[in-house]
Chains A and B, each alone.
Chain A
Amino acid sequence: MEKKSIWKRIADSREASLVIVLILLCAAVSIRNPAFMTLSNLEEILKNNAVTMILALGMLCVLLIGGIDISIASTLAFTGMSVGLLFKYGYMGSTLLGFLLALVIGAVCGFIIGLVIGKGKVTPIIATMGFMYIYRGLAYVIGNSQWAGADALGDFKNFALGKYLGFGVINNVIMVTVICYIIFFFVMKWTKFGRNIYAVGSNEEAAAISGINVSRVKIAVYTIMGLLSGLCGALATTVYASAQPDMQTGKEMDVIAACVIGGVSMSGGKGSVGGALLGSLILAVIAKALPLVGINSLAQNTVKGVLIVVVIILNVITKRVMDKSALERREM
């Protein structure tokens, strides 16, 4: 076999082009504002975008199997509120217990969605739209027009300030994000479950005939999405030191946008953990950078939208080129 040169590989890889975009972006911003590249600023960016970054992992899996989940911000709010209120009314004091409970609630929420999609064969966007209202509504119902503020959360809010998970150097929230990414990197690349996700997304029928239990994979993926939403519910509560029923409204679109920018295909089968990471980092840097370089915050969404459209067009073009090169290799 002919070995590809390292340069050719870099040119072929979508991730490499995203890295370049990210570097250029950071460089441009630092020239305008040297304060950007300081450690404390970077830490701040990562901490504030941990939620998007972690949710992008789950959304990666959901998009890979050809689905979509727009209920994640609602699941996040529901778990955040549940945990926040338990602290507020003094039923719970332990931070660890708070996180575990958030994971469980999130996973159950996701599992129910997974059942409806995997077993009930409901179209993902319809099913998750329903649960978007249900879970958000539940967040209000359990709140009963109450919310959990900083003083109600007690020790729990200190998690986002501490560095004990990161060996005293790295912020806890960032450390959680890093751990999530490491786990997903391995799962997606070297486990059967990861391979099954790609198989189901690339060709559901062929996967089923190859002996993959497709509905089980779907349920698992939505459960994982729910689990991560739950985790992020807890994280958002500690980072912003409050839990409110309307927290992170609209977050799902940011997360989907991050995935799309990172090269994850909306029609399933294509995308990587690296792409999800780079996509969410690019979004995060843009959000932080635009005010720094003097672009009105009102214009931010427009810039974000333009970026997404450009990336999608690039996606379509790369796909065409790749299809063509596959055809060219066919023996004639």
Chain B
Amino acid sequence: MSEYVLELKGITKIFPGVKALNQVRFQLRPGEVHALMGENGAGKSTFIKVITGVHRPEEGEIFLEGRKVEFKGPRDAQAAGIAAVYQHPTSYPDLTVTENIFMNHEIKKRGMIQWKEMNREAQKYLDQLDADFKSTAEMGTLSVAQQQMVEIAKAVSTHAKIVILDEPTAALTANESEKLYRIVDKLKDEGVSIIFISHRFEDMYRLATRVTVFRDSQYIGTYEVDKITNADLIRQMVGREISDLYPKPEVKFGKELFRIERFTRTGYFKDVSISVKAGEIVGLTGLVGAGRTEVMEAVCGITGFDEGRVFLEGKEMRIKNPTDAGAAGIILLPEDRQKTGLIMSWGLGRNVTLPILDKFIHKGLIDEKEERSLAKQLLEDVDTKAVTVFDPASSLSGGNQQKVVVAKALAQDNMKVVIMDEPTKGVDVGAKAEIYQIMGELAQKGYAIIMISSEMPEIIGMCDRVYVMCSGRVTGELPRAELAQEKILEYAMEKSAGKEATA
């Protein structure tokens, strides 16, 4: 038996106009967790697709346990024992967990699907993973973390020898991630080899023994995790030093700009009071499902609320829909850029000017020249790597899409309060630093900023003050000087840790 369970040599994949992979290699030892890191667009996803047989490389060889193989399609890779779990579960929401797990390899007897047996088997896999839901549950009713567990169960059910996890923790909170870590450990103990893609350094340190770095479609190196420093690793990934990931400028706060009092929406959040001063960056954190996004969506009029008052510059406001919020200068940068932030099929220019079309209207008609030149200006302000204002939003990477969303917000020059919902989710290190930079500049210009985030380092790195939510209530408020991971987590899990303590 060979030293490596999977080995790829000299893989080159060419898409029309781009070399997505350039002579990369990779070696996976049996039973190891191997992290694969690199910025967005470094070629990680393409590489995974080569392993799973989705793409066929132009050059290079793949060896499975020392034997040369050639995958003609995903089926071949699956048959060879390779399973992939993607960042966004690729499941069927209207089908049950069992159906999802056994999709394409149903248990059949004489052509009839054996439901009872399948449900039992599925439940067995779920129990192995300590899942807290039944195999008969409908997929769509599960949380992202639970859905991911189903995907992992699916991988286990195919008796995969190699499991690829593509950014599995991106949508998870701290303790959900911990649970995932335990599952990965368990798989490892059973002799499964794991390839783990992530932007989070915590994941890598917690799980992986070795890490391979890609940059600009090329193989940079493979390192033992406990022998490489964080700074060195970032340098390998980015190709340059990032001296300060959190460029937090010193800002003198102005007067209080925005305040909500006793915000309540039955079943979602209760008695939430938050205030922000001009130039201040306020963090809103907590576990996913704590009600952070829901509060801010109510503030912006996307959903309603039952009780509570909103004050802008000391005056009480009535906000009934997003149009009101926009007119008042409260701008939300939504978490899901593809679904709610941008119109992906439109050019960047049109996306940016969508909320402010009135500006270019002369005698009822839109002045497209003026529109274009302003859009161009705004896109340059945020330093987007776009070629023209006509490029569709779908042609940009995640980090650049986020910058376009920022440009769209900046277009609204009555903007006073900026609410950023998970602004760096799924964005690579380099683009993250740029987004923090922009955030700092906005604070300097005197905007009030509310950042919803689950990522501890950015909350601690960027915020002047942090509200922590748990089960729909604000359980703690911390000034910058007192920000510490343990303290935030303590507040974030206050309710679940035990009601007596808080009562």
A contact set with B: CB distance below 8 Å:
1, 186, 190-192, 195, 198-199, 202-203, 205-213, 269-270, 323, 326-332
A203 to B300, CA, bound (A): 18
Interface of A is mostly: helix
The interface residues of chain B lying within 8 Å CB-to-CB of A192 are 357-358, 361, 366
Nearest CB of B to A173, in Å: 27
Q: Are A330 and B395 in contact (CB under 8 A)?
A: yes
The interface residues of chain A lying within 8 Å CB-to-CB of B326 are 210-211
Q: Are B343 and A331 in contact (CB under 8 A)?
A: no
Q: Does B444 contact A (CB under 8 A)?
A: no
Q: Are A207 and B354 in contact (CB under 8 A)?
A: yes
Interface residues in B200-237 by Cβ distance below 8 A to A read: 217
Q: Are B387 and A210 in contact (CB under 8 A)?
A: no
In the complex, the chain B residue whose C-beta lies closest to that of A319 is: B345
Interface residues in B368-388 by Cβ distance below 8 A to A read: 368, 385, 387-388
**How many B residues have CB within 8 A of the partner chain?**
49
18 A-B pairs with CB atoms under 8 Å apart are A1-B388, A186-B365, A191-B361, A191-B364, A191-B365, A192-B358, A192-B361, A203-B343, A209-B302, A210-B355, A210-B408, A211-B323, A211-B325, A211-B326, A329-B395, A330-B394, A331-B397, A332-B46
Interface residues in B1-38 by Cβ distance below 8 A to A read: 15-20
The interface residues of chain A lying within 8 Å CB-to-CB of B321 are 208, 213
Q: Does B346 contact A (CB under 8 A)?
A: yes
Q: Which of A206, A213, A330 contacts B341 (CB 8 A)?
A: A206
Q: Are B332 and A327 in contact (CB under 8 A)?
A: no
Q: Which of A191, A326, A332 contacts B20 (CB 8 A)?
A: A332
Nearest CB of A to B407, in Å: 13
Nearest CB of B to A213, in Å: 5
A211 to B300, CA, bound (A): 10
A328 to B394, CA, bound (A): 10
Interface residues in B222-266 by Cβ distance below 8 A to A read: none
The interface residues of chain A lying within 8 Å CB-to-CB of B397 are 330-331
Q: Are A206 and B365 in contact (CB under 8 A)?
A: no
Q: Which of A195, A202, A329, A331 contacts B366 (CB 8 A)?
A: A195
B contact set with A: CB distance below 8 Å:
15-20, 41, 43, 46, 217, 300, 302, 321-323, 325-327, 332, 334, 339-346, 350, 354-355, 357-358, 361, 364-366, 368, 385, 387-388, 390-392, 394-397, 408
Q: Which of B17, B388, B390 contacts A328 (CB 8 A)?
A: B17
A209 to B354, CA, bound (A): 10
Q: Are B355 and A332 in contact (CB under 8 A)?
A: no
Q: Are A330 and B43 in contact (CB under 8 A)?
A: no
Q: Are A208 and B391 in contact (CB under 8 A)?
A: no
Q: Are B392 and A326 in contact (CB under 8 A)?
A: yes
Q: Which of B15, B302, B343 contacts A207 (CB 8 A)?
A: B343
Nearest CB of B to A274, in Å: 17
A195-B391 contact in complex given A190-B366, A202-B345, C-beta closer than 8 Å: no
Q: Are A209 and B340 in contact (CB under 8 A)?
A: yes
Q: Are B394 and A195 in contact (CB under 8 A)?
A: no
A206-B343 contact in complex given A192-B358, A331-B397, C-beta closer than 8 Å: yes
A203 to B387, CA, bound (A): 23
In the complex, the chain A residue whose C-beta lies closest to that of B364 is: A191
A210 to B350, CA, bound (A): 12
Q: Are A195 and B217 in contact (CB under 8 A)?
A: no
A211 to B341, CA, bound (A): 12
Known: A207-B343, A211-B326. 13 other contacts (CB 8 A): A1-B388, A190-B365, A191-B366, A192-B358, A195-B354, A203-B343, A209-B322, A209-B334, A213-B321, A328-B16, A329-B387, A330-B395, A331-B385
The interface residues of chain B lying within 8 Å CB-to-CB of A210 are 322, 326, 354-355, 408
Q: Are B395 and A209 in contact (CB under 8 A)?
A: no
The interface residues of chain A lying within 8 Å CB-to-CB of B395 are 326-327, 329-330
Q: Are A203 and B41 in contact (CB under 8 A)?
A: no
The interface residues of chain A lying within 8 Å CB-to-CB of B46 are 332
Q: Are A203 and B391 in contact (CB under 8 A)?
A: no
Q: Are A199 and B343 in contact (CB under 8 A)?
A: yes
The interface residues of chain A lying within 8 Å CB-to-CB of B341 are 206, 209
Q: Are A330 and B361 in contact (CB under 8 A)?
A: no
Q: Are A332 and B15 in contact (CB under 8 A)?
A: yes
The interface residues of chain A lying within 8 Å CB-to-CB of B392 are 326
Nearest CB of B to A164, in Å: 28
The interface residues of chain B lying within 8 Å CB-to-CB of A202 are 343, 345-346
The interface residues of chain A lying within 8 Å CB-to-CB of B361 are 191-192
Nearest CB of A to B430, in Å: 12
A208-B20 contact in complex given A192-B357, A330-B397, C-beta closer than 8 Å: no
A156 to B207, CA, bound (A): 83
Q: Which of A190, A206, A211, A328 contacts B15 (CB 8 A)?
A: A328
Most buried by B among A190, A327, A332: A332
A213 to B321, CA, bound (A): 8
Q: Are A190 and B368 in contact (CB under 8 A)?
A: yes
Q: Which of B18, B302, B357 contacts A332 (CB 8 A)?
A: B18
A71 to B273, CA, bound (A): 49
The interface residues of chain B lying within 8 Å CB-to-CB of A329 are 17, 387, 391, 395
The interface residues of chain A lying within 8 Å CB-to-CB of B390 are 1
A256 to B392, CA, bound (A): 28
Q: Are B366 and A208 in contact (CB under 8 A)?
A: no
Q: Are A206 and B340 in contact (CB under 8 A)?
A: yes
The interface residues of chain B lying within 8 Å CB-to-CB of A212 are 323, 354
Q: Which of B325, B327, B354, B366 contacts A199 (CB 8 A)?
A: B354
In the complex, the chain A residue whose C-beta lies closest to that of B324 is: A211
The interface residues of chain B lying within 8 Å CB-to-CB of A323 are 394
A192 to B43, CA, bound (A): 40
In the complex, the chain B residue whose C-beta lies closest to that of A213 is: B323
The interface residues of chain A lying within 8 Å CB-to-CB of B217 are 332
A331-B340 contact in complex given A211-B326, A212-B323, A269-B345, C-beta closer than 8 Å: no
Q: Are B322 and A211 in contact (CB under 8 A)?
A: yes
The interface residues of chain A lying within 8 Å CB-to-CB of B364 are 191
A213 to B300, CA, bound (A): 13
In the complex, the chain B residue whose C-beta lies closest to that of A1 is: B388
A210 to B323, CA, bound (A): 8
A213 to B355, CA, bound (A): 11
The interface residues of chain A lying within 8 Å CB-to-CB of B394 are 323, 326-327, 330
Most buried by B among A198, A270, A331: A331
In the complex, the chain A residue whose C-beta lies closest to that of B388 is: A1
Most buried by B among A186, A199, A209, A330: A209
A332-B43 contact in complex given A1-B387, A192-B357, A326-B395, C-beta closer than 8 Å: yes
In the complex, the chain A residue whose C-beta lies closest to that of B350 is: A195
A328 to B19, CA, bound (A): 11
Nearest CB of A to B115, in Å: 32
